[in-house]
């Protein structure tokens, strides 16, 4: 709290002389206000990567690259850093960091920031980058738009590249004649990737798990 100002009158001079206010005591170095949360700081770094993807002065392919870097960074962030925070929460540790945040408080703040960033990412991709790529003759197709062979080839390539050992398929609602005529993603995958365990889950008519 600031000290009250004190004045006195010098007999040789006219008028009161006002002393400067007292300087407040410095904040202790260990005060939480002096520290920035490491995880939230990292998210702000990744925000700047996303802002590069939003920059319309960048070449289109560079914007796409920055968007993929942002996404890759976020995946690694959750695999390593958020996983560590979840372990702290599950172990019911009450340890508070130098920034004054508990693991639960840190997780809640991460969730809020990430929701905002991912919403921006998806809007940028769907509303700007995908249409811009289409204008250049580059179309990014959904799996449903691919025929069975192309869809299977994409899955096979991904499984081999990433060393996938377990794959879950939804049971197709297509007729046997349709599968024979147009091919099956599952059959082709089983033929090409023999070292992965495959599990088939029955799917209802409206995409819900049966059972």
How far apart are the C-alpha atoms of 74 and 76, rounded to whole Å? 5
What gap in Å lies between CA 90 and CA 92, rounded to an integer?
5
d(CA 178, CA 79): 40
Identify each DSSP E strand in 86-171 by its residue range.
166-170
Calpha distance 123→133 (Å, rounded): 15
Handedness of CA 92, 93, 97, 99 (dihedral sign): positive
Beta bridge partners of 201: 170
Element (H, E) at 18: strand 16-18
Residue 23 carries which DSSP code? P
Inter-residue contact 67 to 50 (CB < 8 Å): yes
| Among 157, 152, 138, residue whose Cα is nearest residue 188 | 152
pTM for this model (two decimals)? 0.59
Taken in order of first residue, the domains within the chain and their CATH numbers are: 36-135 (1.20.58.310), 144-201 (no CATH)
CA 30 – CA 78 distance, rounded (Å): 29
* Per-residue pLDDT tens digits for 135-168: 988 877 676 666 667 777 777 777 777 777 777 6
> What tens-digit pLDDT sequence spans the chain (211 residues)?
555 555 555 555 555 666 677 667 676 656 656 667 788 899 999 999 999 999 999 999 999 999 999 999 999 999 888 888 888 888 877 677 767 778 888 889 999 999 999 999 999 999 999 999 989 888 776 766 666 677 777 777 777 777 777 776 665 555 554 444 445 677 777 777 767 776 666 555 444 444 4
According to the model, what pLDDT value does residue 90 have? Answer: 85
């Amino acid at each position: 709290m600031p000290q009250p100002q004190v004045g006195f009158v010098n007999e040789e001079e006219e008028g009161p002389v006002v002393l400067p206010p007292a300087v407040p005591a410095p904040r202790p170095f260990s005060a939480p206000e002096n520290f920035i949360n490491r995880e939230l700081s990292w998210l702000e770094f990744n925000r700047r990567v996303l802002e590069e993807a939003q920059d319309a002065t960048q070449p289109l392919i560079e914007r796409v690259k920055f968007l993929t870097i942002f996404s890759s960074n976020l995946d690694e962030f959750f695999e390593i850093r958020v996983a560590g925070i979840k372990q702290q929460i599950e172990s019911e540790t009450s340890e508070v960091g130098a920034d004054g945040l508990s693991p639960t408080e840190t997780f809640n703040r991460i969730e809020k920031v990430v929701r905002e960033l991912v919403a921006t990412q998806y809007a940028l991709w769907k509303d700007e980058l995908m249409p811009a790529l289409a204008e250049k003759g580059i179309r990014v197709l959904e799996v449903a738009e691919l025929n069975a062979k192309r869809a299977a080839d994409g899955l096979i390539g991904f499984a081999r590249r990433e060393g996938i050992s377990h794959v879950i398929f939804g049971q197709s609602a297509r007729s046997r004649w349709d599968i024979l005529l147009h091919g099956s993603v599952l059959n082709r995958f089983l033929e090409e990737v023999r070292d992965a365990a495959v599990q088939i889950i029955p799917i209802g008519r409206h995409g819900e798990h049966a059972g």
